[in-house]
Amino acid sequence: MKTFREFILEGQSREDAEKKRQAKDNPDEWRVRNTGGGSWTTKRKKSIQGQGERRSANLKAINKKELEDHAKRNLHPSPSKTANKALKIERQRKKDQRSEAQSKSRETGKQHDVDHVQAQANRKRNSDRWHKIHPGDASDNRRVIPQSDNLKKNSKDTGGKKTTRSGVIMRALQRARS
């Protein structure tokens, strides 16, 4: 008898998945996706879009108001300008991470992803403090790794020191001031 892992990894080749997509009534509504370990499947584009929207709602990026509030509380000179500069630096760091993933993919021939080091907090288990404990989609919580490693990792933390949202905001403002 096969284990669940063997059953999942038994999947089909990309060519087989593409044939399956073409055989559907509306093949343009479907997309071939890599499920990891050399296995491929088909998935509705609408489903993929919905997943992206749910993830972006959960992993919120740092916003100007959070940066400004922290700067005001800690008596930074011109909190608004400091927050704008920190936000600009944060966006540039994220852009650099995406371009690094693309360049590594081109160099090695293997797909690379920008991964979140600290996974999304369990909203049901930590509903009262969920918004306070996770760093969200911050550049300090992201790294570039091969797609195969990212798919194996799934939504698990990689361990190490936990990053909080307030810590991310504090480091962003420090980068803006220096």
User: Cβ-count burial of 13 within 10 angstroms (0-12 exposed, 13-18 middle, 19+ buried)?
Assistant: exposed
Q: Could you tell me the residue range of the domain that residue 132 belongs to?
A: 61-178
C-alpha 32/C-alpha 18 separation (Å) is 6
Which one has a higher pLDDT value, 91 or 60?
Answer: 91
> What pLDDT, on a 0 to 100 scale, did the predictor assign at position 9?
57
Out of 58, 85, 102, pick the residue that ends a domain: 58
> 3-state SS of 70-102?
HHHHCCCCCHHHHHHHHHHHHHHHHHHHHHHHH
Asked whether residue 174 carries a pLDDT value surpassing 90, the answer given is yes
Asked whether residue 5 carries a pLDDT value surpassing 80, the answer given is no
Specify whether 81 is located in the same domain as 166.
Answer: yes
Specify whether 87 is located in the same domain as 23.
Answer: no
Specify whether 9 is located in the same domain as 37.
Answer: yes
Specify whether 51 is located in the same domain as 99.
Answer: no
Summarised one tens digit per residue, pLDDT across range 24-73 is 999 999 998 877 667 788 889 998 888 777 777 777 888 899 999 999 99
Average pLDDT over residues 2-9: 67
Specify whether 157 is located in the same domain as 112.
Answer: yes
> What pLDDT, on a 0 to 100 scale, did the predictor assign at position 166?
86
Total domains, the chain: 2
- Tally of residues, the chain: 178
Asked whether residue 123 carries a pLDDT value surpassing 70, the answer given is no
Average pLDDT over residues 149-169: 77
Specify whether 68 is located in the same domain as 100.
Answer: yes
Please state, rounded to an integer, the average pLDDT across all residues of the chain. Answer: 83
Specify whether 49 is located in the same domain as 107.
Answer: no
Specify whether 114 is located in the same domain as 26.
Answer: no
